[in-house]
């Protein structure tokens, strides 16, 4: 889209799932990149093997911006109720930056959001050899609310004993 060569960071991924997700996110942002509008794309795979994509939407008012991971989560939930397995996001370089696309982990807000909907989700993390890691490990002190009851598959809500303030993971 930008007329310059930017390599797919998926080539550095040893894990086949990580490589596939990064490649889809890279292809999406390579095609859809617009300076100051769309800089990151995300790919989210469900348990059925379908990959859902999302695109970062920048806004004049920063708070109104939407992360690519949130877009992919919304797309996944519109398409299926299947468990979500893994996510990857790729940031495309601005014209003033070296032509290197980067794997980026979900921001803190997206970590919270994704874990609310997929407590066992793994995320591709950057590094010399990008790898899949449990998203919960990237957010060790998840906010615990009481909006939803805890279930065996979704342990985050209701982990604090009401009235005690006890947090079991500290």
Query: Three-state DSSP class for 69?
Result: helix
Nearest to 66 by CA among 50, 81, 55: 55
Is residue 90 within a helix (H) or strand (E), and if so which, with residue range?
strand 84-91
Active site residues: 69
Q: What is the pLDDT of residues 8-62, one digit of tens each?
A: 999 999 999 999 999 999 999 999 999 989 999 999 999 999 999 999 999 988 7
pTM of the model: 0.83
Model pLDDT for residues 82-99, shown as the tens digit of each residue: 999 999 999 999 999 999
Composition of the chain by helix, strand, coil, percent to 5:
30, 20, 50
């Amino acid at each position: 889209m930008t007329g310059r060569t930017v390599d797919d960071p998926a080539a550095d991924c040893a894990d086949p799932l990580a490589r596939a997700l990064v490649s889809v996110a890279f292809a999406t942002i390579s095609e859809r990149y617009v300076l100051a509008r769309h800089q990151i794309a995300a790919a989210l795979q469900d348990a059925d093997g379908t990959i859902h994509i999302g695109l970062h939407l920048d806004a004049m008012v920063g708070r109104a911006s939407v992360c690519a991971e949130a877009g992919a989560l919304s797309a996944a939930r519109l398409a299926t109720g299947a468990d979500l397995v893994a996510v990857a996001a790729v940031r495309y370089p601005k014209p003033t930056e070296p032509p290197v696309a980067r794997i980026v982990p979900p921001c803190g807000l997206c970590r919270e959001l994704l874990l609310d909907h997929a407590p066992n989700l793994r995320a591709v993390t950057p590094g010399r050899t990008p790898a899949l890691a449990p998203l919960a490990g990237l957010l060790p002190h998840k906010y615990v609310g009481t909006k939803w009851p805890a279930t065996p598959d979704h342990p985050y809500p209701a982990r604090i004993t009401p009235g005690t303030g006890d947090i079991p993971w500290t």
